[in-house]
Amino acid sequence: MMFLLLIFEFNKLLMKKLFTLIFSLFAISGFAAEPAAEGGKFDPGQMITHHIGDEHSWEFAHGATLHLPVILYGKNGLDIFSSKNFYDEHGNLKPYNGYVKEHSHIYYANEAGEPVVETNAEGKEHHAGPLDFSITKNVASLFLSVALLLIIFFTIAGRYKANAGKAPKGIQSFFEPIIIFIRDEVAKPNIGPKYERYVPYLLTIFFFIWFNNMLGLMPGGANLTGNIAVTLVLAVFTLLVTLFSSNKAYWAHIFKTPGVPVALLPIMIPIELVGILTKPFSLMVRLFANITAGHIIILSLFSLIFIFENIAIGPVSVAFAIFMNFLELFVALLQAYVFTLLTAMYFGGATEEHDHVEDMGFGGNVKDHH
Amino acid sequence: MELVTPGIGLIFWQTVTFIIVLFLLSKFAWKPIMASLRQREDSIESALRMADQAKLEMQALKADNEKLLQEARIERDRILREASEAGTAIIEQAKARANEEGTRMVANARQAIENEKKAALTEVKNTAATLSIEIAERILKHELANPQAQQALVNAYIKEVNLN
């Protein structure tokens, strides 16, 4: 538990630093705005948002862009075309086939090539667009990571068959301690006797997050695990598995918390019910915030060079960015571990057999496990 | 707000892909890997257990051997002791018998010597008696060779008879 607390403290520290950095950045960009006005103002905020967000094409380096397929479903039915169609020969954005792309979002276009504006029920105006199922940079990165996962672990599984009963070799011996660690140190102590059912899920989620965290740190990589949609889905999976494997004791703990007087139950039940959702919610936010924060810090450090427009700041900024990159390599592993560990703990809470069921609601001599 | 608004596209792809990868990895990677790991751990464990058992058996065997050796040693000591006792007894017996025999032989010899002595003494007596008679005869013959001596003797006898 100490270790976890340390992580949370660390996260807090990181977030605090991040905010001060961002605020100082905005302040500095305010200063820098005037002299740089004629040469095209550098906006670090926009650059960073652009980098950590999603795109319809994958720019590995300036000029080396992979145009990814756009898949839209809306009032025109299903539309599939290349995102290249949104660009003219000079690389400027243009409307295509009744759609217009703006800030990496695709909207319906009107006659003038502008996004159609709709007013929602609350009277707020917003751009109207189709449902976007495009293979974006993040989705492409997701497929890449999945391909990597499948290739690596199928190879390892093959090795286990090939030299059964022998000592592991090569890639097999690199991943075996990690697999055993997840099984023996994460699943076994936190879930209890029924841990074996959950090991495949924990292994998948651990390696999925770790691989994607690492891929996100590659130059030109996508910020997949720093995307709230991805962490949302992972957290929902954990929630669903928790709920489907929950036993009587788990629900008894929620609706009839042991040791709590009956008069307090009307307060306790809603709290416990919200608690079911806050656990995966914290999983979602923790992973998203940590990975995004890392990306923002590194990009901010690089932005310093362009903000100061001074060669002296270069080495300092690069040194800090390198340090942050190493830290992020560690955070990539750590966050994968934390997500997996907490998932295992939630599973453990859902499958735990309470041996004091008969004492429930009487308090006093109740030994609480938590 | 943009950053914390999940996009429907990524949710869709992430869900589909994650389900597929979870299924594929569970079925074709984790299952065989976990099975092999378990199998290897079991085999290591059983090997260790067997080694332990062998060690125990060895110890038992060694203890048995030790016991046998100890018994053999005791047996040997016993036999040696018995043999030495028997030897001593035989010697004692032989000595006693020899003593007895010796005593008996000495007694016999003494008896024989006594008998011989008696016989010899008897013979010496007889011989002495015969010699005395012969000497006496010769003396008499010599003494009584003249008739005067004979007369004197007869007179002496007659005198003696008269006395009686």
Q: What pLDDT, on the 0 to 100 scale, is given for residue A40?
A: 63
Q: What ipTM was estimated for this complex? A: 0.80
Cα separation, A306 vs A47, in Å, equals: 11
Chain B closest-CA separation from residue A209 CA (Å): 11
Indicate which of A52, A172, A198, A233 best probes the interface with B, i.e. most B CBs within 10 Å of its own CB.
A233
Inter-chain contact A153–B29, Cβ cutoff 8 Å? Answer: yes
Q: What pLDDT, on the 0 to 100 scale, is given for residue A185?
A: 93
Tens-digit pLDDT profile for residues B37-77? 888 889 999 999 999 999 999 999 999 999 999 999 999 99
With beta carbons under 8 A apart, name residues in chain B contacting A139.
9-10, 13
In this prediction, what percent of chain B has a pLDDT beyond 70?
A: 98
Cα separation, A45 vs A51, in Å, equals: 10
Name the residue among B2, B12, B17 with its Cβ closest to that of A53: B2
Question: pLDDT in tens for each of the 164 residues of chain B?
Answer: 677 888 888 999 999 999 999 999 999 999 999 998 888 889 999 999 999 999 999 999 999 999 999 999 999 999 999 999 999 999 999 999 999 999 999 999 999 999 999 999 999 999 889 988 888 888 878 877 888 888 888 888 888 886 65
Chain A closest-CA separation from residue B3 CA (Å): 7
A91's tokens = 């690389």
Inter-chain contact A146–B28, Cβ cutoff 8 Å? Answer: no
Q: What pLDDT, on the 0 to 100 scale, is given for residue B79?
A: 95
Q: What pLDDT, on the 0 to 100 scale, is given for residue A55?
A: 85
With beta carbons under 8 A apart, name residues in chain A contacting B32.
157, 160-161
Q: What pLDDT, on the 0 to 100 scale, is given for residue A243?
A: 92
Q: What pLDDT, on the 0 to 100 scale, is given for residue A308?
A: 83
Indicate which of A204, A208, A343 best probes the interface with B, i.e. most B CBs within 10 Å of its own CB.
A204
Q: What pLDDT, on the 0 to 100 scale, is given for residue B51?
A: 95
Average pLDDT, chain B: 90
Long-range contacts, A99-103 (Cβ 8 Å, 24+): A99/A72, A99/A129, A99/A130, A101/A56, A102/A127
Q: What pLDDT, on the 0 to 100 scale, is given for residue A362?
A: 46
Tens-digit pLDDT profile for residues A47-75? 888 888 888 888 887 778 888 899 988 88
DSSP conformation class of A114: P
User: Are A363 and A257 a contacting pair, CB within 8 Å?
Assistant: no
Alpha helices in chain A (DSSP H): 2-33, 44-52, 137-162, 171-181, 188-191, 199-217, 228-245, 248-255, 265-308, 313-351
Cα separation, A262 vs A256, in Å, equals: 8
User: Are A128 and A74 a contacting pair, CB within 8 Å?
Assistant: no
What is the number of alpha carbons within 13 Å of residue A313 lying toward its C-beta? 11
Q: What pLDDT, on the 0 to 100 scale, is given for residue B58?
A: 95
Interface of chain B toward chain A, CB-CB under 8 angstroms:
2-15, 17-18, 20-22, 24-26, 28-34, 36-37, 39-40, 43
Chain A closest-CA separation from residue B61 CA (Å): 32
Indicate which of B34, B41, B43 best probes the interface with A, i.e. most A CBs within 10 Å of its own CB.
B34
3-state SS assignment for residue A116 = coil
Name the residue among B5, B10, B33 with its Cβ closest to that of A138: B10
With beta carbons under 8 A apart, name residues in chain A contacting B10.
54, 136, 138-139, 142, 227, 229-230
Domains in chain A: boundaries: 67-135, 137-359
Q: What pLDDT, on the 0 to 100 scale, is given for residue A141?
A: 93
Three-state secondary structure along A117-171?
A: EEECCCCCEEECCCEECCCCHHHHHHHHHHHHHHHHHHHHHHHHHHCCCCCCCCH
Domains in chain B: boundaries: 8-163
Residue A302: alpha-carbon gap to chain centroid: 23
Cα separation, A281 vs A10, in Å, equals: 19
Inter-chain contact B29–A154, Cβ cutoff 8 Å? Answer: yes
Q: What pLDDT, on the 0 to 100 scale, is given for residue A214?
A: 93
Q: What φ, ψ does residue A94 adopt, rounded to 5°?
A: -145, 155
Identify the helix (H) or strand (E) that includes residue B78: helix B31-143
Which ranges of chain A have pLDDT less than 50? Answer: 1-6, 18-39, 357-370
Chain A closest-CA separation from residue B12 CA (Å): 7
Q: What pLDDT, on the 0 to 100 scale, is given for residue A360?
A: 47
Name the residue among A142, A234, A288 with its Cβ closest to that of B13: A142
Chain B closest-CA separation from residue A8 CA (Å): 20
For A110-128, letters b (16+ CB in 10 Å) and e give: eeeeebeeeeeeeeeeebb
Indicate which of B2, B5, B8, B10 best probes the interface with A, i.e. most A CBs within 10 Å of its own CB.
B10
Tens-digit pLDDT profile for residues A183-226? 999 999 999 888 989 999 999 999 999 999 999 988 888 889 99
Q: How many CB pairs under 8 A join A and B?
A: 114
